[in-house]
């Protein structure tokens, strides 16, 4: 048995996040890390001594948490409105200076022609 591989495996198995996982997932993870079946069995044996102690403390902590949760009134879950994501508007097309100048000339000539026509009609 390789002690350098067993120590991290035992540490992994005694981790609080891992203890609640399925045994099959733990075994698959350890096999992926390169442990043999004998090393996995030994790691479970070594972790078993630690887990029984931690399970008893965890169970008592869970009982206290359950009592606290049971004493609170039940609140219905809050639902959120669906989020609407708007796409940004495309940039406005820019008008070149030459077009602006040509447009100003055309509008100016039109205004001058209209004014001349109105004055000619009124005289």
Burial of 58 (0-12, 13-18, 19+ CB in 10 A): middle
pLDDT tens per residue across span 6-19: 888 888 888 888 88
pLDDT of residue 66: 47
pLDDT tens per residue across span 24-69: 888 888 888 888 899 889 988 888 754 434 443 444 444 444 444 4
Q: Per-residue pLDDT averaged across 78-89, rounded?
A: 81
What CATH topology corresponds to 3-71? Arc Repressor Mutant, subunit A (1.10.10)
> String of b and e for 30-41 (b: at least 16 CB within 10 Å)?
beeeebeeebbe
How much is the pTM? 0.38
Question: Above 80 in pLDDT, residue 22?
Answer: yes
pLDDT of residue 73: 62
Q: How many CB atoms lie within 10 A of CB 111?
A: 10
Question: Above 90 in pLDDT, residue 121?
Answer: yes
pLDDT of residue 71: 57
Give me the residue spans of the domains in the chain.
3-71
pLDDT of residue 3: 82
Alpha-carbon distance of 60 to 28, in angstroms, equals 30
Q: Quick one: what percent of the chain has pLDDT higher than 90?
A: 20
């Amino acid at each position: 048995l390789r002690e350098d591989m067993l120590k991290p495996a035992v540490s992994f198995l005694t981790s609080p996040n891992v203890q609640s996982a399925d045994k099959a997932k733990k075994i698959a993870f350890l096999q992926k890390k390169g442990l043999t079946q004998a090393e996995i069995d030994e790691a479970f044996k070594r972790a078993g001594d630690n887990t029984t102690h931690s399970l008893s403390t965890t169970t008592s902590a869970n009982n206290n948490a359950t009592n606290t949760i049971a004493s609170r009134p039940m609140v219905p879950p809050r639902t959120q409105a669906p989020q609407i994501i708007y796409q940004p508007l495309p940039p406005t097309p820019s008008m070149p200076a030459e077009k602006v100048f040509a447009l100003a000339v055309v509008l100016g000539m039109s205004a001058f022609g209209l004014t001349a026509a109105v004055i000619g009609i009124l005289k």
